[in-house]
Amino acid sequence: GLVLEHPNPVWSTDITFIPMPVGYMYLVAIIDWYSRRVLSWRLSNTLDTRFCLDALFAALKQGEPIIFNTDQGSWFTSEDFTGALLEKQILISMDGRGRALDNI
């Protein structure tokens, strides 16, 4: 396995659905695996890719990972999101479909 000895080699993201009286709010957070620090987060009332990209760009102002881990949600597999990572030469790691425990 990969041994993490300092911040930044691996980052991860996921979306949490927050129930509201009517509908949901959506929280995306990007964390550093080593420090478990939240690098950025965004809250949205729509599930579009833009708020995920906004969180990614905010996190990238603090550094760049070698590997970025996500699940296979459409926000993270979108051409815009993967393109932003590949443009920075960041390796993309995606968990298996239906494998929520891979995100832990």
Residue 98 within a domain: yes
Residue 4 within a domain: no
Residue 3 within a domain: no
Residue 97 within a domain: yes
Containing structural domain, residue 36: 10-103
Residue 90 within a domain: yes
Output the pTM of the full model: 0.87
Domain count, the chain: 1
Residue 20 within a domain: yes
Which residues of the chain register pLDDT less than 70?
96-104
- The predicted structure's pLDDT at residue 6: 85
Q: What is the CATH number of the domain that holds 89?
A: 3.30.420.10
CA–CA dist 26, 31 (Å, integer): 16
CA–CA dist 23, 103 (Å, integer): 25
- The predicted structure's pLDDT at residue 103: 46
Residue 4: other Cβ atoms inside 10 A: 13
CA–CA dist 10, 51 (Å, integer): 21
- The predicted structure's pLDDT at residue 97: 61
